[in-house]
Amino acid sequence: MRQNMIVVVAALAAAILACAGAVAFITLGPDGDRDAGRVSGTSAPPSQQQDRSQERERTSPEPRPTVTVTEPRTAVPGQPGESAADANFLELIAADGIVAPDDWAIEAGRATCGQDYASAREYLTDGGLYDHHVQTFLDDWMITHGGC
């Protein structure tokens, strides 16, 4: 009797597994197609894989890098009496974050060139330049004008 019970339980378990397997193979995919491969853990046929990868490409394109080419500029004097070195100086201090009227900056550069740091600092900060910009201002003048 025990043997018969074991056989019945084994047959019942096999029948349940067979039904579950059949249901898994009959299940519809999310797009309405029968897709037994996805349910059983294997991949979809190559034609479906290709279609899906093309859909992903169309829906979420990867950003492409942009290359910007900047041509070098030669500074040209903007006002009468302003040299190319003055124009370069004005561009350089602006790039360094120093904001000052052009005529004052050129005048201050000429006035402080060759002075000791303390005197130049006093002149420039009295004129409105921030203390942390003083050395940069002096360096930019020396770079663009080749000294005093």
Q: What is the pLDDT of residue 104?
A: 95
Against a cut of 0.75, is the pTM above it?
Answer: no
The two most distant CA atoms of the chain are separated, in Å, by 118
Q: What is the pLDDT of residue 120?
A: 95
Give phi and psi for 34, each to the nearest 5. Answer: -75, 125
Which residues does the chain have with pLDDT short of 50? 28-32, 35-40, 70, 72-77
Q: What is the pLDDT of residue 148?
A: 80
User: Alpha-carbon distance 7 to 3, whole Å?
Assistant: 6
Q: What is the pLDDT of residue 83?
A: 86
